[in-house]
Amino acid sequence: MKDLIKIAMEYKEKAYVPYSNFRVGAAVRFDSGNIYGGCNIENVSFGATNCAERTAIFSGVKEGEKVISEIAIVADSEELIAPCGICRQVIVEFCSKDSKIILAKNEEEYIIKTIEEIMPGAFTKDFLK
């Protein structure tokens, strides 16, 4: 788990945040064991901004990954931050009920959440049946 937090911290340093100056890094371990990282990438048209969590998840999905084992998220904050609503929905799409969501300040200060804890009552593909 600490390896994932360390990778997320490294990706945080790569964030492109000329507007908010709020860097976020994420690292996702998929069930295959492969890890993909991501950072937030801002755009002057704020709707075109992409969060670190989605950048990391989409990097894995484009390589054929489908199930998140765990995801670590770090930010330029004194407080632990949780994913935004859009990122939570994307995490729901690719996680299992056992996936771990790690909210971290650093390798020593973190908490672990489940998807049910951060997205209770989530809209899933089960609703489309």
Instruction: Just list the catalytic residues.
Output: 53
CA 100 to CA 13: how far, in whole Å?
23
Tokens matching residue 94 = 């690719």
Q: Three-state SS for 44?
A: coil
Tokens matching residue 20 = 């908010």
Tokens matching residue 70 = 């765990």
Sheet holding 35-39, edge to edge: 35-39, 24-30, 68-75, 95-104, 110-113
CA 26 to CA 127: how far, in whole Å?
29
Distance of CA 16 to the CA centre of its chain: 16
The answer to whether 83 touches 101, Cβ cutoff 8 Å, is: yes
51 belongs to an annotated ligand binding site: yes
Binding-site residues for Zn(2+), in ranges, read 51, 84, 87
Binding-site residues, in ranges, read 51, 84, 87
